[in-house]
Amino acid sequence: MIKKEDSLGIPNYGIHYFKMPQDKNSIEDALNEFIEIHSFINQVVSSNTVPEFQGKQKRLQFINYGSTQLVYVLTVDEKRQYTFLVNQPSTPFGVGKREFENLKMLSRVNKDNVIIPLYYFKGKNNDYERELYVTPYYYQSRCIGVEDKEWGIWIPEPKYFFHNFEEQDRRVINASMIALLIKLYDDKGKKGLSDIRLDGGDFMLEKGFENYDINFENILKKMKLIAARNLVQMELHEYTDRLKTELSGNVRDDEELKILGKKLKAPLKPDEIESGIKLGYHLREEQKEKEMLI
């Protein structure tokens, strides 16, 4: 049974984290957006066509935000929980659908390391098109990122806070993220993930990962990609070289970036990058061997 008082994320209604369009940035505009976004979400939650949403008691909580989306959790009858990712007010319509489709494609062959999107919804209120998609919610999961130039994780409970990695843990976890970027490269379409924010919560670790030895095997069992904004077309060797360049910080500004969404808030160490790439290619070989046995 899920406890109502459990902390799931940032203790806020979400309005403080709205990214508003430049022509609509007053307090009144933000309040109107808050009402309209919640109206749209409630329409989706009230749908009779989604079996998972049916129940006597439903509770919606804001838990987090990103550059393109606001993140909510729906709890049904204190038993089932789902993540709702709805566009930020400044996010163009269609961005949510693209990410939904990217995650769907990536999770088909990488379901262990990619969040599986369940549903996509779109609608209009006051002539404004809105969209959101739904994924499973991993209870009190930890998003990986950077605060005050230190790598670590955001932990929801008992109160939302940031925990810095120990040096050895950091090396394993950061290298694992890089390895999954290589593993998730799509051979058929010749595409890799882009607009990535490794330092901003694109990867998560399931709660409880810290109860096991921090090594590549255990971390990869608990790590999931939860964002896939864009894909970039290039050969794998080009993608690898470009990834290495951008992760090393060898670019002048954000305009030069092709894979990362922004320059990292804290640099990655050379051994993290090298071991991550090496592990990524190893994971690709393992995957090919498994496919040959099917």
- 3-state class of 186 per DSSP? strand
Domain shared by 156 and 115, yes or no: no
pLDDT digits (tens, 9 = 90+) for 263-292: 999 989 999 999 999 999 999 999 888 877
Q: What is the 3-state secondary structure (H, E, C) of 101-141?
A: HHHHHHHHHCCCCECCCCEEEEEEECCEEEEEEEEECCCCC
User: Quick one: CA dihedral 179, 290, 189, 103, positive or negative?
Assistant: negative
Domain shared by 109 and 76, yes or no: yes
Q: What pLDDT was estimated at residue 294? A: 65
User: Is 60 exceeded by the pLDDT of residue 41?
Assistant: yes
Q: At 102, is the pLDDT very low, low, confident or very high (cuts 50, 70, 90)?
A: very high
Please indicate, yes or no, if residue 71 is contained in any of the structural domains: yes
Q: Which residues pair with 82 in a beta bridge?
A: 74, 136
User: Is 90 exceeded by the pLDDT of residue 198?
Assistant: yes
Q: For the CA atoms of the chain, what is the radius of gyration?
A: 19
Please indicate, yes or no, if residue 9 is contained in any of the structural domains: no
Domain shared by 174 and 102, yes or no: no
pLDDT digits (tens, 9 = 90+) for 145-172: 999 999 999 999 999 999 999 999 999 9
**Residue environment code for 261-277, b if the CB has 16+ CB neighbours within 10 A, otherwise e:** beebbbbbbeebbebbb
**Residue environment code for 50-88, b if the CB has 16+ CB neighbours within 10 A, otherwise e:** eeebeeeeeeebbbbbbebbbbbbbbbeeebbbbbbbbb
Please indicate, yes or no, if residue 152 is contained in any of the structural domains: yes
DSSP states of 8-71? -S-SS-SGGG----TT--SHHHHHHHHHHHHHHHHHHHT-SS-GGG-SS-EEEEEEEE-SSEEE
Dmax (CA) for the chain in angstroms is 60
Report the distance separating Cα 134 and Cα 76, nearest Å.
14
Q: At 251, is the pLDDT very low, low, confident or very high (cuts 50, 70, 90)?
A: confident
For residues 191 and 233, the answer to whether their CB atoms sit within 8 Å is yes
Domain shared by 82 and 174, yes or no: no
Q: What pLDDT was estimated at residue 152? A: 98
Please indicate, yes or no, if residue 270 is contained in any of the structural domains: yes
Report the distance separating Cα 197 and Cα 174, nearest Å.
12
Domain shared by 112 and 151, yes or no: no
**If you average pLDDT over residues 49-78, what whole number do you get?**
95
Domain shared by 176 and 236, yes or no: yes
Choose the final residue of a domain: 119, 136, 153. 136
Q: At 1, is the pLDDT very low, low, confident or very high (cuts 50, 70, 90)?
A: low
> Hey, what amino acid is at 270?
P
Please indicate, yes or no, if residue 8 is contained in any of the structural domains: no
Per the structure, the count of domains in the chain is: 2
Report the distance separating Cα 243 and Cα 187, nearest Å.
16
Choose the final residue of a domain: 113, 136, 159. 136
Domain shared by 218 and 253, yes or no: yes
User: Is 60 exceeded by the pLDDT of residue 238?
Assistant: yes
Please indicate, yes or no, if residue 86 is contained in any of the structural domains: yes
Domain shared by 165 and 36, yes or no: no
CATH number at residue 72: 3.30.200.20
Domain shared by 195 and 284, yes or no: yes
Residue that wins the pLDDT comparison between 63 and 11: 63
Choose the final residue of a domain: 93, 108, 136. 136
Q: At 212, is the pLDDT very low, low, confident or very high (cuts 50, 70, 90)?
A: very high
Cis amide leading into 158 (omega within 30): yes
Q: What pLDDT was estimated at residue 14? A: 84
| Domain enclosing residue 105, as ranges | 15-136
Please indicate, yes or no, if residue 6 is contained in any of the structural domains: no
Q: What pLDDT was estimated at residue 288? A: 86
Domain shared by 129 and 232, yes or no: no
Domain shared by 154 and 271, yes or no: yes
Please indicate, yes or no, if residue 122 is contained in any of the structural domains: yes
- 3-state class of 266 per DSSP? coil
Cβ count near 181 (within 10 Å): 24
The residue written with tokens 């809105």 in the block is 130
Domain shared by 256 and 146, yes or no: yes
User: Is 60 exceeded by the pLDDT of residue 90?
Assistant: yes
